[in-house]
């Protein structure tokens, strides 16, 4: 019996496109362009230890973090791929202070804008820990024919037409959604194709993994501290104590919890009252994927992340995401101290 070759990303996109209202092929072609940039970055990330792209580029990004050379490489690779697609009118990137409007003839009439974190978790690059690219795709709201402006990017997460991440780990995977479920593809380097490996991911409603940087414990809100105590108490019926797993790379922590069940928390802290993670190109795309897989994503106080109206492109929000029942339990503790 001839083993059926798994479907490629392109085949699945074409198949899914017919069910997707207004893609008319552009969204499919855009995702294919994105996959090309992902393969280019995959090659560099896999060789990072061998060539002189480790260490710091000599500039600081808008987050005040040292830009590593791989950050810069990934940022340029994705921006160039989007610009050459003729489908994207502009990009908001973690690595760039302001939006990048593509004003060439082809792009200025394009339908889509993209928010992205080209290489999230980059502090882990030098220690060979999984890192990722996160992207969020919107239809522009400004009229075609003119350069895009910030309003095109400051749309609620509910307006995303597609979102996803590439995780550069033990294998390189592309996980995305167009609102028809969350699906994963694994790169087969022998044929250079992303092949379907996780169709319609269904994240467990319950889990026993909690992911949070407990080094910030003393600065957490009381509700988070009480929830952590709940996770660590023994209770056979509810399968506690849970397991603590934290890599410090959002894509890696989220991906594990998406498949196994779990809750990721980056709450507000005394020194970061808005939290650390960025709404446009970290929390909204991850929230879209979580919800499409049957999970949840809120600010810890019952406010759905995708309903937050953005006010600036690098805005931060407190972020709770993962298994539905775990998130609901965490919010029960948070609600006890909502007026603190
Ligand atoms: P901390 C990486 O810098 C990042 O933006 C996310 O990928 C990750 O979840 C978080 O920050 C880690 O932050 O403060 O725990 O090191």
Q: How far apart are the C-alpha atoms of 292 and 309, rounded to whole Å?
A: 20
Q: How far apart are the C-alpha atoms of 338 and 17, rounded to whole Å?
A: 43
Q: Which pLDDT belongs to residue 4? A: 74
H or E segment and range at residue 194: strand 193-198
Neighbour count for residue 98 (Cβ, 10 Å): 11
Name residues of the chain where pLDDT drops below 50. none
- Give 247 Cα–ligand 1 centroid separation in angstroms: 9
Q: Does domain 9-198 have CATH number 3.30.2090.10?
A: no
Q: Which pLDDT belongs to residue 48? A: 64
Question: Could you name the CATH architecture of 209-336?
Answer: 3-Layer(aba) Sandwich (3.40)
For helices 69-85 and 26-47, give the axis angle rounded to 10 degrees: 160
> 57 Cβ partners below 8 Å, 6+ apart?
66, 67, 68, 69, 71, 72
Q: Which pLDDT belongs to residue 26? A: 83
- Give 122 Cα–ligand 1 centroid separation in angstroms: 9
Q: Which pLDDT belongs to residue 154? A: 98
Q: How far apart are the C-alpha atoms of 217 and 103, rounded to whole Å?
A: 47
- Give 120 Cα–ligand 1 centroid separation in angstroms: 8
Q: Which pLDDT belongs to residue 12? A: 87
Residue with CA closest to ligand 1 atom 3:
121
Q: Hunting for tokens 């522009």 — which residue is that?
A: 140
CB of 321 within 8 A of CB of 279? no
Q: Which pLDDT belongs to residue 254? A: 98
Candidates 63, 119, 120: which one to mutate for ligand 1, based on the most atoms within 8 Å of Cβ?
120
Candidates 276, 315, 317: which one to mutate for ligand 1, based on the most atoms within 8 Å of Cβ?
276
Kindly report the length of the chain: 340
For helices 26-47 and 9-17, give the axis angle rounded to 10 degrees: 160
Q: What is the pLDDT of residues 276-329, one digit of tens each?
A: 999 999 999 999 999 999 999 999 999 999 999 999 999 999 999 999 999 999
The strands making up 319-322's β-sheet, listed across from edge to edge, are: 243-244, 209-211, 263-266, 319-322, 296-298
Assign 146 to helix, strand or coil: coil
Q: What is the pLDDT of residues 191-213, one digit of tens each?
A: 999 999 999 999 999 999 999 99
User: What would the two tokens of residue 292 be?
Assistant: 């499409």
Residue 123 CA: which ligand 1 atom is closest? 3
- Give 119 Cα–ligand 1 centroid separation in angstroms: 12
The whole-angstrom distance between residue 317's C-alpha and the CA centroid of its chain comes to: 14
Q: Which pLDDT belongs to residue 339? A: 75
Q: Hunting for tokens 């650390």 — which residue is that?
A: 276
Helices in 99-214 by DSSP H: which ranges?
105-108
Residue with CA closest to ligand 1 atom 10:
248
Q: Hunting for tokens 């779990």 — which residue is that?
A: 262
The whole-angstrom distance between residue 284's C-alpha and the CA centroid of its chain comes to: 7
Candidates 61, 74, 121: which one to mutate for ligand 1, based on the most atoms within 8 Å of Cβ?
121
Based on its alpha-carbon atoms, the radius of gyration of the chain, rounded to whole angstroms, reads 20
Residue 249 CA: which ligand 1 atom is closest? 7
Q: How far apart are the C-alpha atoms of 339 and 242, rounded to whole Å?
A: 28
CB of 210 within 8 A of CB of 262? yes
Q: Which pLDDT belongs to residue 243? A: 98
Parse the chain into domains and list their residue ranges. 9-198, 209-336
For helices 284-292 and 250-260, give the axis angle rounded to 10 degrees: 10
Ligand 1 site, CB within 6 A:
120-121, 123, 213, 248-250, 276
- Give 26 Cα–ligand 1 centroid separation in angstroms: 33
Candidates 249, 252, 315: which one to mutate for ligand 1, based on the most atoms within 8 Å of Cβ?
249
- Give 121 Cα–ligand 1 centroid separation in angstroms: 6
Q: Hunting for tokens 């490489």 — which residue is that?
A: 73
Q: Which pLDDT belongs to residue 320? A: 98
Q: Give the torsion sign (CA, 312, 118, 38, 294).
A: negative
């Amino acid at each position: 019996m001839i083993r059926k070759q798994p479907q490629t990303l392109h085949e699945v996109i074409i198949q899914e496109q017919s069910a997707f209202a207004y893609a008319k092929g552009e969204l499919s072609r855009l995702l294919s362009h994105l996959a090309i940039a992902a393969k280019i970055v995959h090659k560099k990330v896999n060789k990072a230890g061998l060539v002189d792209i480790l260490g710091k580029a000599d500039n600081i990004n808008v987050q005040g973090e040292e830009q590593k050379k791989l950050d810069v490489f990934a940022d340029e690779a994705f921006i160039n791929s989007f610009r050459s697609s003729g489908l994207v009118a502009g990009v908001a990137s973690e690595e760039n202070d302001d939006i990048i409007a593509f004003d060439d003839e082809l792009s200025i009439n394009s339908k889509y804008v993209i928010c992205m974190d080209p290489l999230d978790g980059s502090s882990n690059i030098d220690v060979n820990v999984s890192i990722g690219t996160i992207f969020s795709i919107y239809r522009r709201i400004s009229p075609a024919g003119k350069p895009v402006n910030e309003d095109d990017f400051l749309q609620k997460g509910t307006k995303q037409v597609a979102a996803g991440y590439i995780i550069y780990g033990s294998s390189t995977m592309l996980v995305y959604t167009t609102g028809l479920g969350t699906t994963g593809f694994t790169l087969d380097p022998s044929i250079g194709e992303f092949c379907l490996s996780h169709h319609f991911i269904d994240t467990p409603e319950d889990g026993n993994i909690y992911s949070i940087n407990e080094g910030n414990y003393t600065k957490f809100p009381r509700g988070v501290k009480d929830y952590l105590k709940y996770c660590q108490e023994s209770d056979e019926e509810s399968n506690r104590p849970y397991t603590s797993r934290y890599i410090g790379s959002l894509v890696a922590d989220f991906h594990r919890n998406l498949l196994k069940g779990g809750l990721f928390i980056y709450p507000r802290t005394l020194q970061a009252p808005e939290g650390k993670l960025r709404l446009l190109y970290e929390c909204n795309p991850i929230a879209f994927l979580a919800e499409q897989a049957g999970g949840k994503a809120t600010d810890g106080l019952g406010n759905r992340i995708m309903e937050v109206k953005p006010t600036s492109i690098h805005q931060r929000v407190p972020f709770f995401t993962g298994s539905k029942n775990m998130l609901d339990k965490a919010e029960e503790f948070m609600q006890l101290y909502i007026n603190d």
